[in-house]
A and B are shown apart, each in its own frame.
Chain A
Amino acid sequence: MVRYLAKRIFYLILTLFIVTTVTFFLMKIMPGTPLTNEAKLSPSERNMVLQQYGLNKPVWQQYISYIVNAVHGNFGTSFQFSDQQVSYLISSRVGPSLLLGLQAIIVGVLAGIVVGSLGAIKKGTWIDTTTTIVSILGISIPSFVLSILLQYFVALKWGWLPIAGWSGFAYTILPTLALAAMPFAESARFVRTEMVDVLSADYIELARAKGLSKFGIIYHHALRNSLIPLVTIVGPLAVNIMTGSLVVENIFAIPGIGEQFVNSVVTNDYPTIMGLTIMYCFMLCVVLLITDIIYGLIDPRIRITGKRG
């Protein structure tokens, strides 16, 4: 296990390094500079400002100094927010995105498991059809449409919840629901398909023959085995959602990180792009690692040992 972990961590660092390098050079290919009002500067003034930011050096020199600084935990200062540390920019805005993402994953996946199982148990009935339709809708309705609908009806028309903003739990409910649609639909679909398979397996027949209660069979045997494929998708899905959704954050005015990422790309805010990319990549790698470990815990057939690989 220790050797396995060490190896995985080595790969994690390698992945981070490759992703950082590729992003850095891709970013440099993008046209434009980070200057906000470039159109008003004369060429000499422009050069002066670029010099201040170290952007007049050859790209490879910029790359080396970036890597060296990043290893020391210094991601530079943002161009958009003058003199603001990128690490501060990220840490001060990542909280709301993480919280919403976490809530959405929990709500979405739990609801998905219930609905998916229900569909599988009542296979072929109207309940199954309804749950299937609902999960297809969940996948195909874009989150911004759902956001707008929720905002219009629940907040504006009925006045049950705040329209937008970020000052308390009530403000998180609508964006959480909008974000939860996708994980809900995905997990409902997976669980249904998987459970239909499992329910027709011999060991379920055996459990039935033993006279176990219906609930007991579902809970102890069918559900547990149906969750394995779910674990694979939930990890990456969680990272995707927790790193913030541009549209949902915009619509509900969430002071999160999703919008900053898009903005940093549009404004050529190189240090912020790099900082966020490294963070996303790190999160994804860690989640994949955790997924593998959980895999082993749920399914005894999969064992991570020092001998493997």
Chain B
Amino acid sequence: MKLRSMLEVGAVGAASAFLLVACGNNSGKESSSKLIQWQQSANLTTLDASKVTDNTAFGTLNNSNEGLLMSGENNTVKPGVAESYKVSKDGKTYTFNLRHSKWSNGEPVTAKDFVYGWQRTVNPKTASQYSYLFDHVKNATEIGKNKAPLSSLGVKADGDYKLVVSLTKPQTYFKYLVAMAPFYPQSEAVVNKYGNSYGTNSNNMIYNGPFKVTGWTGTNDSWKLVKNNDYWNAKNIKFDGVKFNVQKDPNTALNQYQTGGLDIDTLSGKQQVNEFKNSKELHSAKGATTFYIEMNEKNNPVFKNADIRKAISLAIDRKQFTQDVLGDGSTPAVGYVAPGMSKHNGKDFTDDAGTKEGVSYNLAEAKKLFAKGLKETGKKSVNVSMLSDDTSAGKNTTEYLQTALEKIPNLKVTAQNIPFKSRLSRSQNGQFDMVVSAWGADFPDPISFLSLFTSDGSYNNGKWSNKEYDTLVQNAEGKDANNAGKRWDDLVKAEKVLMSDQGIIPIYHQVTPRVIKPRVQGIQFFPTGSPYNLRDITLSNK
């Protein structure tokens, strides 16, 4: 018996490693719950539209509340609370015509709720981390600095159902911004009623969207979105709602998905994605997020040399990296601005701006350029560190980059993986040689990416500086802001300048792989702004 039990234990131990790899694929089982069971990897932190910062909260808010407009497919906007809107010729005045709609407490949603909500987000006392999105709205920046009264904000109610917004300069992408949570209406009476506990649990909140949040105590691991019968379009909401379950361990979540406990699960890593490679249940949502390397030109003058920067970029085989190392569906970078985010005259930005320059792989050329760069800078060798997150993706990235870059003679790279917050802080304080950074666009316009790398950009951590680039970005935001064609050309040129001078080194565009049971149809995922829309879902029950 002793021997047998020992054998069993040994066999179980050996099998455990194998099991992690071989959890069965074909899921078969489906839940019969009336609610969609959805895995979340983080807790819900707030329901306050002025204080929301993370994706879990954005997703919940975007479907329990509604702004003037809302995100639609292919980076468009659809009417939300505003039935229609008009932009003045100079592009500086927006007039929104509001429909008659209700809050979940039966009160009407009026233009005053928008005025109040916007003022509350901009108010420095609220300490909103997204108030910068209002920077084109008249007086928003001054109010943030306590230099103008709150009432001077460029948003006015003209009666109960007309909202007039004044901008300081034209902003063609303003329509995307008003679809985001910080621009949602807020009821002054409700905010005052709950004071500091407003939005800290599902009861201390009212909703004007298709669903109401229930069952969230403020700290627990599950909450529901249930149909809101007061929603203006409630008759077109065809299912009962969603139950979110916080499930941080990816293996547990997948086990639950496979046994029918979950309908939607976000996959983690190559192994899990491979299991579903040929399954119709796999949905890879492209996000407008780019991972790239910044080189600290201030700290390490050798990076001021464009040949050195280009050599490093040429040594990276992005295709091999995304396929063999990441393997989660992420795609090789085609430039800095992510593809599939914005179009002009039917052409994607990356098609217009796309050059192979800056993102291609050519090791022989890399070696040649690096040797040339060394000569120009009078150095014999370069010894630098590569900073990244201590997540498994972060470690995989530095490991790969180290191997790839050290194929260049006289280049030595040390990997440093530290926690996310420490990485951010070191990036911002310039304490790095090279750092792997990531940027996700807030709204589907190339400016959301390109505004970063102007000489004085606060996230230009590497301090790359190029006058032509600065002028192009400035024109797009200034003198060409109201001329769609010219503005597009400015941005295309700016991207080309950034790439041909290799101001940064793009590596890959992130994709979020999910598995979704066939009974859930019609869910929409967006690359920017609100993460998903549940309004068009149909749920079939077997």
Contacts and interface: CB of A to CB of B under 8 A. Distances in A.
Contacts of B221: 166, 253, 255
Given A130-B5, A164-B252, A251-B252, A81 B421 contact: no
Interface stretch (A62-70, A85-93, A192-200, A233-241): A85-93
Contacts of A92: 217-220
A156 B20 CA distance: 13
B255 interface: yes
B252 A253 contact: yes
Contact of B51 (A82, A159, A163): A82
Contacts of A259: 248
B219 A88 contact: yes
Interface string A31-73: 1110111111111110011001100000000000000000000
A255 B219 CA distance: 9
A48 to B, nearest CB: 5
Interface in A134-181: 137, 141, 145, 148-149, 151-152, 155-156, 159, 163-166
A252 B245 CA distance: 12
A21 interface: no
A52 B129 contact: no
A165 B247 CA distance: 9
Give the 7 A-B residue pairs with the shortest CB-CB distance, closest first: A32-B421, A52-B127, A36-B53, A82-B46, A255-B221, A32-B425, A82-B51
Interface of B: 1-2, 5-6, 9, 12-13, 16, 19-20, 23, 43, 45-46, 48, 51, 53-54, 124-125, 127, 129-132, 144-145, 196-200, 217-221, 245-249, 251-252, 255-256, 258-259, 261, 419-422, 424-428, 439, 442, 458-459
Given A151-B255, A166-B221, A49 B421 contact: no
29 contacts: A31-B422, A33-B425, A36-B54, A40-B129, A40-B130, A40-B442, A42-B132, A43-B458, A45-B131, A48-B127, A49-B129, A81-B219, A82-B200, A83-B198, A84-B218, A92-B217, A92-B218, A92-B219, A145-B13, A145-B16, A151-B252, A156-B23, A163-B255, A165-B245, A253-B221, A253-B246, A253-B248, A253-B252, A255-B246
A164 B127 contact: no
B249 A156 contact: no
Nearest to A133: B6
A251 B2 contact: no
A38 B428 contact: yes
Interface string A294-308: 000000000000000
A277 interface: no
Contact of A83 (B6, B51, B459): B51
A129 B145 contact: no
B58 to A, nearest CB: 11
Contact of B196 (A52, A83, A268): A83
A129 B247 contact: no
Contact of B199 (A83, A88, A266, A267): A83
Nearest to A52: B127
A156 B132 contact: no
A36 B332 CA distance: 27
Nearest to B6: A133
A267 B2 contact: no
Nearest to B42: A263
Interface centre among B247, B421, B428 (most CB of A within 10 A): B421
